[in-house]
Each structure stands twice: as C-alpha cells, then as structure tokens.
Amino acid sequence: MFAGDLASSALGIELVEAAEGHAVATMRVTETMVNGHDIAHGGYIFLLADTTFACACNSHGPVTVASGAEISFVAAGRLGDHLIATATERTRYGRNGIYDVTVHRETPDGPEVVAEFRGRSRTIQLVSSKEGPTR
C-alpha cells in the first residue's frame, strides 16, 4: 500500500518500520511545509500521522481506510525538523480499529512530542474501480 502512496512519497515520507498493528515513518519539515507563522503547517503533520496510521492498520492484510481521526498539536514543528511518527494499534473489533500515533522530534534532551493523533479504521471490501469502494 505504501509503495503506491504518491502523496506521501512526494513529501519525502519514509516508512522505516512496519509490523502487524505497528508502523514508524519519518518526514523532514521543508521550506514548502512552513506556514505564515514560520512553523510547520499542521496539515503536513497530520498527513505524516495519517500515513503512519494507514501503514499500521493495513498491516493485517485486508484493505482498511480511515473512518475518522483527530489530532492534538502539542508543540510547533520547525523548519528542518526530522519528525518521527509511531503508530500503535490499541484495539480491533469486527471491521473496526483504533490506533494511536505519536509524532515527535529528537532533541539533545530526548524526544519532544509534537502531536498526538488517534485514528479510527474500517476494513472495506473493494469492488471494481468504476463502482468505487463499498463500506
């Protein structure tokens, strides 16, 4: 799934670890990701967390999509930050799942949390591309 994710690869997101119900991805904050306040635009941080969530929830095999997600920004991302997102499966029940993603940066004093993300997943059954996915 990640190999075909052009949006994530265009932003330089790298998948560095993937296991059942778990994933780690990284992204460097570039000039084009900084907003008018000179901090990382929250949408890019959300995209990193969402990509990592997608890798974790699709690790079980069936096609799984987000049914909802929320993010809390804890600290500002800055130009040049190397952000690390770690997704962990909290629970799966039926076709649903809940995953937590922590986005942090490394500092001389250790990891500093930038954002906390919670994603809700839903396993779907794909039909022909003309008809689109069914839920």
DSSP 8-state assignment for residue 38: S
Query: 21: left (phi > 0), else alpha (psi -120 to 50), else beta?
Result: left
Residues 85-124 pLDDT 10s: 999 999 999 999 999 999 999 999 999 999 999 999 999 9
Name the pTM for this structure.
Answer: 0.89
Other Cβ atoms within 10 Å of 70 Cβ, number: 10
Q: Give pLDDT, residue 134.
A: 52
